Structure 1
Amino acid sequence: MGFSENIQNSMEYANHAFKSFGSWFVLILLYAVMFAGTVMLILGTIFMLATLLAVMTPAFSSAVDSAMMTGSMMTDPAFAILTSVSIVLFILGTIVTILAGIFIYGFMMRVYRGGELSLNNWGKMFVEGILAMIILFIYMIPYIVISTLVALGPMDNMAYLIIVGMIIPIIILIISIMVGMMGVIKFAKEEKFGAAFHVKELFSLIANIGWLRYLGYWILLGLIVSVAELVLLCIPFAGCILLVAAMPFIMIVTARFFANLYDSALPAVTE
């Protein structure tokens, strides 16, 4: 299946994904919640960094020394409020973002399976979302381990920094994501957690698609989605709202695109 044919098929699938707007509204709401959680997480992080930076600056340090002498250290209302708000925003934003992301990942499993979509059995959706995240994390372990080991090497050596410190981890990251995505799709279709780690079958699937073709499709689709999102964000005032409203459609098209790639390679593997 060619790229344009796959995109067209995926968009047709997304157009007929639901029979009513109610299901689209629920997905839009999920993305809105995740967007709000992400904003809270970012603000909390910024406030914490601002507080830490203020503590580390010489001017603040001398002020702290004076406060210690007068017994009023950390009792300044503005400092206490900023610290409390940053912690609350960070924790709340993290929880909200993760919870919304779990349900979205759980719904993606249904897109990978194909057929008519439905927003029911939220418990199963939640569990499958968690399992999908675990699968992706497990596939990222080699990259995490190698990146950590590489960082312990002579990073001041330019050749080491470019070849070992950058190129090798990037290659491992790309392979991990490519194989991990196919593992998640296999898990979604077979509904067996262990199926996601049939690495030999996954490599055969990707080989049938073509590693460079798979990578090229992945990059090209990513560019198209990024441009579409950037165009929406450039719209004054309503850009963010339109982007959140469009995210469910973009997610379904993207997920179906990779599911189609998986299906196109499957017959050759099972022969």
Structure 2
Amino acid sequence: MEFGKLVKDSLGYAKEGLVGKWINWILLIVSCIIFPFVLGYIMRIYRGASKAPELNEWGGMFIEGIKLFIVVLIYAIPIIIIELAVLGSTFITTMTLKTAGHENPAQMMNLIGGVLFGFIILVIVSIIIGLILATAVVRFARMNSFGEAFNFNAIFAHIGKIDFVSYLVALIIMVIIIGVIEVICMMIPYIGWLLLLIILPLLVLFEARYLTLLYESAGPV
């Protein structure tokens, strides 16, 4: 897999879709705030639009966005459950340490170890779900079926066609690029959040196109 080409194509797609088209840019900023709209727009990209789609048919876009949100939310349920358990354990551990002080070091280490173990499990589960979801959302858009979004045999088979190592590396590259941009923006005092909001449409188009190309790299479905 040519990772450089994947990044270049996705960046070019985002640039062509927004630079000089300031009305679309502004509308996408608003859509990012009212998230079902931007999710519906992303669905159009997942379906293989060769150029950034037009922003129109807002009612249909909103409904499509809600559907995609439901898929993502269902995938997030295990993460939410584990996260709540970790937060609960952290709270209990904190209260126990404040009450017990340093009377029982072994008990304190066990409590802290339990919290750390829960956090590690949370990270591992989040990564696994993220790997599956990256293909599931595009498959959902292409097949227009909730069942296909959770057809794990087909999803894993599709990832296998891409090659798992290449798939993993491609996703890591995407996460690093987006993460670095977001961190840089948030490090800018006072206006960092505003700058991030302004460039968010570029990141949205880049990520959606990137995942689409990654999905298509497996060949015809």
In the alignment, the residues of structure 2 paired with residue 211 and residue 157 of structure 1 have an alpha-carbon distance, to the nearest angstrom, of 36
Aligned length: 199
Residue 2 (structure 1) aligns with? 2
- Map 1:67-146 → 2, pairs under 5 A: 100-115=34-49, 116=51, 117-145=53-81
In the alignment, the residues of structure 2 paired with residue 167 and residue 239 of structure 1 have an alpha-carbon distance, to the nearest angstrom, of 30
1:20/1:166 CA distance change after superposition, 3 Å = closer
1:180/1:233 CA distance change after superposition, 3 Å = closer
Aligned AA for 1:111?
Answer: I
In the alignment, the residues of structure 1 paired with residue 129 and residue 21 of structure 2 have an alpha-carbon distance, to the nearest angstrom, of 37
Asked if 2 retains the 8 angstrom alpha-carbon contact of 1:30 and 1:104, the reply is yes
Aligned AA for 2:148?
Answer: A
1:182 maps to which of 135, 139, 162: 135
Shift of 1:195: 1.9
Higher mean alpha-carbon deviation, 13-22 vs 110-119, is at 13-22
TM-score (norm 2): 0.76
1:243/1:162 CA distance change after superposition, 3 Å = closer
Q: Per the alignment, in what secondary structure is the counterpart of residue 17 of structure 1?
A: helix
Aligned AA for 1:14?
Answer: A
**Relative contact order (C-alpha < 8 Å, sep 6+): which is higher?**
2
In the alignment, the residues of structure 2 paired with residue 4 and residue 22 of structure 1 have an alpha-carbon distance, to the nearest angstrom, of 30
In the alignment, the residues of structure 2 paired with residue 235 and residue 146 of structure 1 have an alpha-carbon distance, to the nearest angstrom, of 33
Shift of 1:254: 1.1
1:226/1:20 CA distance change after superposition, 3 Å = same
Q: Per the alignment, in what secondary structure is the counterpart of residue 111 of structure 1?
A: helix
Asked if 2 retains the 8 angstrom alpha-carbon contact of 1:135 and 1:180, the reply is no
Higher mean alpha-carbon deviation, 131-140 vs 11-20, is at 11-20
Deviations 1:24-46 (A, max 9, x none): 22112334xx2xxxxxxxxxxxx
Residue 252 (structure 1) aligns with? 205
Shift of 1:200: 0.6
TM-score (norm 1): 0.63
Shift of 1:229: 2.8
Alpha-carbon RMSD across the aligned residues, in angstroms, is: 2.9
5+ residue gaps in structure 1?
35-99
